[in-house]
Structure 1
């Protein structure tokens, strides 16, 4: 269901997406002057990083111009980036972004039991101790790099679902997420703990699960990762979760929405989420910092398969046919 990177990073360069900034005009006080004198966080003003090693960029042509030149998240998974190498790999990516004066965006996807044995199973990390050691190395690579991190897509809604619905749910999963949220945040990352999407019901206890999973250490939540829900529905969903968290004593949180593939109204079957034929690419990412809404990201990589349905290859592999569908172009007929 979720993408996996298939090529090692090397020699990335950057293209910018202009981001919005917010401010206020008023009477200047001593505290205002002190705040103005402090260094401003570059994530509020600079563009998001475009990595030329991404598969869409490597395809060239229309795939590069319409997909590959758009900032997308770098997926950090233990199959590709093991504990003994992930620190350097992550640091290289973040350094490339810093050299381009752009903000690095990463998705950390390595919790044991992820995806409940479905398309993104096969995780080499099987214990909490292995996961914590891996997360420490990811955090070491991100220290002081001012990154955005989407943390463990689907984990909270999958593991927090009905008993028996996820045969691979690991014991102590709340504590693992709590450790990751705290450790990555202490390294200077803005962490968005993933909260599923608006059509993933029931979610009456999701706010409680987010609290138990260390949301208080994070900047906020992410929604719609690798899914297709309209942005308007995701904003309502996120706002409801944040209200629920405020009632639980967790305040001042923010959220981001994945818009990589939500450019069309979902089909009648809301569970058709593996390369659905009706999906289209969504609006380009843009950070706006409007109240609790930090903005939109492309977390899932358009053109990379969710799994072997609707003509797709294995999860994470590039497919011209899938990219053509998302762009509304005539299908190439193959991957």
Structure 2
């Protein structure tokens, strides 16, 4: 037994010795470059790529085309959903996630999804037991963020689906769960939202956006009325098209109308019910008519002797994760309930996530829904268990769906960016609770990289210990390797290498996603 352990120690030392030699050789050859160093970006203009998210996990556990599709989505900034757990658990999870983004110097997007009677106890049923439990959970999530930068997407569908609600026209809505009290359900929902807004906004660096549905749902006046009651004036705005497929231009138009309706209601004595919308004077199914609603707002502002100033108004963000092909139009007469929102076929990835939209009414384009995750088991009015549009049984909501992922990548609206770096990581199998990992980073771009951080995530409870050629730090599953003087410059076409020792019997597969200075590598 001692001899076996000794051989293992020699192997580990030899691996790091090879890394050391490669570090020295590549650092020497790259230092002659005089190409300008690219900016690593800053937390004010870059969204966080979740190296430990569900897309990264899917890529790590797959091969071939399925792996490539998952990796294509994992290499883009996506939101992290927080949907359950005790206050202590969610605080720790949020802290670890936001810490990883802070170390990377980018902005994390978090989805808070734990309202009582979430999704009216349908596909995504669950949530906190009551208002007090929800408030404690939200406070813990806010504490996990602390004073760091973050963007919070507050409760998808939370204002679109309210138990025992009556819409702006006085019509009773369909969500009436037996467990809810009809006398208090609506007031409770708004109290929950207002508490969440105030809790998150104690940190000025946290941006908070409330649910505004999508263009096929509530009218502008109806959602504006709900946003006001939910405390939008103290938040940063709203999000549109979460987990949906509406085209970006339609969502942007809809969001601009909410902004103007809110401004008129707040500052010009308007009533939400007076606000023009996608339903009037426009026709919802004919985007060419939406200019009529633009004109209606222009008239309303003229009558109010007021000029819209987007710089002083609330704005929206848009989920573009799956809207590259817009809404799905099902075959006429084929289904009694086509469930157009549920894993529709032939959809594509939409515009890439960005904080620079060029639209004064839109703060960001985000991938709120994780593309590649199933919407649930879709029966389209049949008895199931298969999805008649696909001929297979769809995965449960939130589970990875290889067929859906393939369609989204194949039909993407824009070309996915080509990485300008390549990472090769080789990790030994664990032996007596220890393993060795060597990492080679190649600059495939045209400018030198001067100073770098590389992040990736372990698959379990592994811990990085000794390092060589880089400074290794770790928070939760996420590992950050920072350059040292010997390896700090990587000239175009050149590589550097570093290594580390790790502990953990479950070393598993090598990480699928590596992010260098905020940009995903091949």
Matches within 5 A, 1:72-83: 72-78=78-84, 81-83=85-87
Aligned counterpart, 2:400: 318
| TM-score (normalizing by structure 2) | 0.52
Structure 2 residue corresponding to 1:201, chosen from 200, 218, 229: 218
Structure 2: which 5+ residue stretches go unaligned? Answer: 1-38, 60-66, 268-311, 331-337, 379-386, 388-392, 412-522
| Aligned residues of 1:140 and 1:187 also touching (Cα < 8 A) | no
Q: Deviations over 1:69-111 (max 9, x none)?
A: 1110010112xx3212111110110000000111111010111
Structure 1 residue corresponding to 2:251, chosen from 229, 234, 249: 234
Aligned counterpart, 1:216: 233
| Aligned residues of 1:57 and 1:63 also touching (Cα < 8 A) | no
What is the CA-CA distance between 1:203 and the residue it aligns to?
Answer: 4.5
Structure 1: which 5+ residue stretches go unaligned? Answer: 1-16, 20-41, 330-335
Deviates more, 1:271-280 or 1:163-172: 163-172
Aligned counterpart, 1:276: 344
Structure 1 residue corresponding to 2:316, chosen from 255, 265, 276: 255
What is the rounded CA distance, in whole Å, between the counterparts of 2:249 and 2:233 in structure 1?
A: 25
What is the rounded CA distance, in whole Å, between the counterparts of 1:116 and 1:303 in structure 2?
A: 24
What is the rounded CA distance, in whole Å, between the counterparts of 1:152 and 1:138 in structure 2?
A: 13
SS of 1:294 mapped into structure 2: strand
Q: Give the RMSD, CA atoms, in angstroms.
A: 2.1
| Aligned residues of 1:303 and 1:320 also touching (Cα < 8 A) | yes
Structure 2 residue corresponding to 1:142, chosen from 123, 136, 145: 145
| Aligned residues of 2:70 and 2:405 also touching (Cα < 8 A) | no
| Aligned residues of 1:208 and 1:248 also touching (Cα < 8 A) | no
| Aligned residues of 1:266 and 1:278 also touching (Cα < 8 A) | no
Change (3 A) 1:242 1:135: same
SS of 2:394 mapped into structure 1: coil
| TM-score (normalizing by structure 1) | 0.80
Deviates more, 1:170-179 or 1:65-74: 170-179
What is the rounded CA distance, in whole Å, between the counterparts of 2:339 and 2:375 in structure 1?
A: 13
Aligned counterpart, 1:177: 193
Matches within 5 A, 1:102-141: 102-123=106-127, 125-141=128-144
When Rg is computed on C-alpha atoms for both structures, the one with the higher figure is 2
Deviates more, 1:181-190 or 1:148-157: 181-190
What is the rounded CA distance, in whole Å, between the counterparts of 1:274 and 1:59 in structure 2?
A: 20
What is the rounded CA distance, in whole Å, between the counterparts of 1:245 and 1:71 in structure 2?
A: 30
Aligned counterpart, 2:373: 304
Aligned counterpart, 2:334: none
Structure in which a larger fraction of residues adopt strand: 2
Q: Deviations over 1:175-194 (max 9, x none)?
A: 11011111111123100111
What is the rounded CA distance, in whole Å, between the counterparts of 2:173 and 2:215 in structure 1?
A: 22
| Aligned residues of 1:228 and 1:262 also touching (Cα < 8 A) | yes
What is the rounded CA distance, in whole Å, between the counterparts of 1:194 and 1:275 in structure 2?
A: 21
What is the rounded CA distance, in whole Å, between the counterparts of 1:202 and 1:254 in structure 2?
A: 17
| Aligned residues of 1:312 and 1:322 also touching (Cα < 8 A) | no
Change (3 A) 1:254 1:18: farther
